[in-house]
Structure 1
Amino acid sequence: MEIEPSFPQAQTASNAPLAPLACATCRKQKRKCDKQLPSCSLCLRIGRPCDYTEELRAGSAPSPEDFNALRQEVAELRNLLTRDPALSSTSGNNVATNSSYSDDSSAFHSNGPPTHGSLPNDILSPTGNGSQSGSTWPGPSSFPSLFFLDSNAFEYERFQIQAPYVRVPPGALSCLGSSTELRAMIEHYFDSVHSYFPIVSKIRLYQHLSNPLHEPGADIALLFMSMKLACNELPDGTPPQSQLYQDVKSFYHYIEAQNGFSIQLIQALALIGLYETGHAIYPAAYLTIGHAARLGIAMGIHERSVPQMLAKPTTWTEQEERRRVWWGVIVLDRYVNIGNKGKPFASADPSLASILPTDDASWDRGQMLATAPLALSASTSIRASPFARTCQASHLLGKVLRHINDKSLPLDYRFEEALQLSRTVRAFAMLLPEEAESDDPSHPTLCTSMALCYSAILELFDAYSCTERAVPNAPDTQVVMQEEAIRGISDFSAGALTLARRIRSFAERVGLGRLSPLVLDALYQATANYAWYVRESSDPSCAEHAAELKEVLVMCDRRWKVAGEYIRIIEATEFALASSIR
């Protein structure tokens, strides 16, 4: 299988043939063209036709692509004129400034100190201040509405969506500091968040930065800011809604309002949702993750057979990145619904034919594997990458939550399905600790998948363990499931305790940077279960286990503030019960 390079490098050989003039598109947009034949590097990277002819041959009829390009040019010009009427009386060079990379992007290499409130007021507010509002907030959309109004006609006409270039606002990247500080932040991100949530291609990101023909736009800037937000450890007493968080959220809405849709946009949104989930910023976390799911569906990354908003990927690494982004959205969507009962998911369950993420290390290096892709339907006993295990666990978590929320199931089928889910999740949860034995002690990559399994099975058992919830005249499988749930709560609370000890051990060695916020619900559920055992039986060993889990949550609170929220919930419940007894 031949795969074109993702980011072609400019030819530097002295004998390389060059076109006498820049291509038509580069001339129109007043962008630098390397004049490579048969296609310039910029057109090849973006995936658009490259035309070196001065004009159509006499007598030849314009093609549908020519009409589409003309429509888009007219829409862009109308959009520019609507934004600033003064453009109609200025030279063409001023018009080009709005669609090409400007000197304001030097913020990528700013040597000044980081500042707060880096985004100007006219970007943070849709109305802006005075006359500046019309020059920054977008005017009428040039997005082809046919894509949503009639996708069949859109595909029949073979239209392509040309993503607009969104300028980086002045000072928007000052929070990232100098180029050296930016590089250090990127390395810190890949050493921390990327270890448990690998949705950004390391090799492709560095190709973006090193390619001399690449023009960083606002989407890349937003991704950098979101990466810094996700890997930033808050000092004690600092609220999660920091200035950086507010700037990232405002910057995202600014780009989205200008139809700057790209894979970087949804990556940034997923990282924002991860940050909000880890710091219990609700309802923002729930809404952000739901928006990421909707945006991914609109782009078409959830299914390759539907109309696509993004250009066709040119490399295996790029295709794998899109797959991982969508799986990341599914993982977050399932996790954010654990405690939020009765709500539908924002994303549909993946089909059993869906391909799981490949080996994480090989993908980071851009190396294709000779092995066949692993489908979701494959046996869980087949060895898989850590992130693939996380995806499998989130899929099982989704099936459990759907089962609990579905009140319309017939009774005989409900308990049979519950028992089947119990067997499936139990088998997978028992498999993971064995695989984790071969993990690097300083980098336990399977903690997230184990925690998601424990969250799923403890949720399932909690729904069937209470005798007060028993249904009269139910089939005998109800009693079987109840016995299974009562035993299982004890077994898997102990499993979550073992996981907590593992987390504390590696955190004491390498710190909390690689701690995933997705492990904390399992620790919370286990703590609540042991606290319930103490109230029921006054078992001193259960009291010790609950206290040990609380200590781990207190430690995790230094990285993710949601751990402190879980502790307050447990303590509030204990206080309420103690007060009722008195």
Structure 2
Amino acid sequence: MPESKEVPNACSPCSARKRRCDRVMPICGWCARRNDPCYYVDHNNKQDLPGFPEKGFRLLFQQGRAAGPDSGCSKDLDSSLTAHLLDTLHQLTLDLGDMTECFLLFVQPWMPIIHPATLRQKVLTLRGAPSAELACFLLHILLVNPPSSLPSLRAFLPVLYEDCKSLFYLLQARRRDRLLTIQSGLLLAVYEQGHCSSSDAYISLASCASLAHVMRLGQPFDGTASANDESREDRRRVWWALYFLDRLNYYSDKKTARIPLLRNAQMGDCLPGNDELWGYSDGWTRSAPSTVPSIPGKGLMAIISAFGELIQAINTMECVLQLTRELSIRPETLVDQKSWKLDLLIQQKIHNSLTYSKPLHHQYMVVALDLMALIELHEKRLVCFSRQSDPSSIRESSAAALEMALNIFGELMKVDDNSKILEIDRMPVTAAVLFEKMASVVILLESQHSRNIEDAVQALTRAMERASKRWGVIGETASHIRAARVSL
């Protein structure tokens, strides 16, 4: 066994998650206890850091923050950030076009924030027309979608993350009126939700929300633009992506004092428009845009785009959160007629999603959000009706609903074991939140309700092991559930 020794810097996994690392080589104590991969980056060896900012770039960063938007430094910023991106890709032997297409293939389906044709055109002209905000956005693409063909890049993701975070802050000061600045911030929040913490993601989303307010995103259009205007649809989709990530982050935070960054979903005008007109030609795509229903159940089965369907699922989840995250919640509101109707609606939506004819990876994303809403509602019921004097029928029905959710998830994972529908590169960040919620269900059912759920737990464990290769926080969740089950 190699001799252990201490090194000056924390390992990359601990650094990314801001954990206290004992800095022991070849594997730190934290990673050893969780059986996680452990690796160190030598920050003094520039050959090991592919193309990350040197002293001159840092100096430009400082000058860029101090200079005004009309100064000569603005063009220098465009040229330098573009050169920085191209140099990074050259040292990684990555092709800019290939990286763009991988993003459109694996991330765009669940986070469609830029028109594919627009992105391709901008990338083609980048060398001749340098753009700081586009270069920053492409670096964020590399951060959230590192190519599986280059596994060694994952060791440098914490360094790239710090780089991207600094660049996003720079563009907030220098290019706050550009949509690409918000789009970069959204991808930064996606990375933080999947690899760091919900608090880190919340900070980035708060910055995006401020920029969106400055740019008047989410406000009704004046009607002068064409219905097929790409810029108009891009702005709408960026606003809805911000709403989606904000509510997903709010769901994962569990703090009742946390206030949603975007107060009202109705401010977003109508849902994202036709996917096919916007740049996709899949046969399963639907047609007419729709609005988010103000009453649970009203219009939820309207004909909408694929992204719009995800928005409606997150809106249903928000209806549940309005019940469960209330500071002065009254238990009777969780079992009144409105609550039971919402419960039945969610279960009906899960059934409908599983029987619709559409790509299974999209089915999984919609079902995941509905399962999370169902779990949130019934976990809260169990907490509020935990006393022996409370009606046992409520506890039994909620425990049964949680077991049903776990079994549905387990069956989906068994199907995926054979067909690999949820490719690692395609897996949305929603999975990071879903697996954490499923882990809490397992612990609750086994510790307090003595349910025999071994088959579902095994399916969950296998799925988490595979999914942790995409989102680091899932590995931490897997370690937590192993430790909790051992102590039972």
| C-alpha RMSD over aligned residues | 3.7
1:162-201 equivalences in 2 (<5 Å)? 166-169=77-80, 171-173=83-85, 174-177=87-90, 181-201=95-115
Deviations 1:377-413 (A, max 9, x none): 2622234332111111111122222221113356654
Whether contact under 8 Å (1:447, 1:519) holds in the other structure is: no
Matched, 1:361 2:283: no
Greater share of helix: 2
Shift of residue 484 of structure 1? 4.1
Q: Distance in 1 between matches of 2:50 and 2:444?
A: 45
Counterparts in 2 of 1:123 and 1:319: CA distance versus 1, 3 Å: same
Q: Distance in 1 between matches of 2:187 and 2:170?
A: 17
Map of 1:349 onto structure 2 = 264
Shift of residue 353 of structure 1? 7.9
Q: Distance in 2 between matches of 1:396 and 1:344?
A: 18
Whether contact under 8 Å (1:452, 1:519) holds in the other structure is: no
1:494-509 equivalences in 2 (<5 Å)? 494-507=407-420
Map of 2:326 onto structure 1 = 406
Map of 2:470 onto structure 1 = 559
- What is the one-letter code of the residue matched to 2:277? S
Counterparts in 2 of 1:543 and 1:425: CA distance versus 1, 3 Å: same
Deviations 1:148-175 (A, max 9, x none): xxxxxxxxxxxxxxxx765232642122
Whether contact under 8 Å (1:176, 1:225) holds in the other structure is: no
| 3-state DSSP of counterpart to 2:186 | helix
Whether contact under 8 Å (1:324, 1:357) holds in the other structure is: yes
| 3-state DSSP of counterpart to 1:516 | coil
Counterparts in 2 of 1:329 and 1:471: CA distance versus 1, 3 Å: farther
Whether contact under 8 Å (1:330, 1:347) holds in the other structure is: yes
Map of 1:302 onto structure 2 = 218
Counterparts in 2 of 1:503 and 1:358: CA distance versus 1, 3 Å: farther
Whether contact under 8 Å (1:496, 1:522) holds in the other structure is: no
Matched, 1:118 2:64: no
Q: Distance in 2 between matches of 1:243 and 1:552?
A: 28
Whether contact under 8 Å (1:389, 1:446) holds in the other structure is: no
Map of 1:291 onto structure 2 = 207
Shift of residue 123 of structure 1? 5.0
Shift of residue 268 of structure 1? 0.9
Matched, 1:226 2:160: no
| 3-state DSSP of counterpart to 1:494 | helix
Shift of residue 446 of structure 1? 2.4
Matched, 1:457 2:378: no
- What is the one-letter code of the residue matched to 1:219? E
Q: Distance in 2 between matches of 1:559 and 1:187?
A: 18
- What is the one-letter code of the residue matched to 1:329? L
For this pair of structures, how many residues does the alignment match?
424
Counterparts in 2 of 1:210 and 1:312: CA distance versus 1, 3 Å: farther
| 3-state DSSP of counterpart to 1:400 | helix
- What is the one-letter code of the residue matched to 1:452? L
Map of 2:314 onto structure 1 = 394
Matched, 1:423 2:344: yes
Unaligned stretches of 5+ residues in structure 2: 1-46
Q: Distance in 2 between matches of 1:514 and 1:484?
A: 35
Map of 2:187 onto structure 1 = 271
Whether contact under 8 Å (1:229, 1:275) holds in the other structure is: yes
Q: Distance in 1 between matches of 2:163 and 2:221?
A: 36
Matched, 1:326 2:247: no
Map of 2:66 onto structure 1 = 138
Shift of residue 352 of structure 1? 8.3
Q: Distance in 1 between matches of 2:317 and 2:232?
A: 26
Counterparts in 2 of 1:497 and 1:366: CA distance versus 1, 3 Å: closer
Map of 2:18 onto structure 1 = none
Counterparts in 2 of 1:256 and 1:491: CA distance versus 1, 3 Å: same
Map of 2:253 onto structure 1 = 340
Unaligned stretches of 5+ residues in structure 1: 1-112, 144-163
Map of 1:522 onto structure 2 = 434
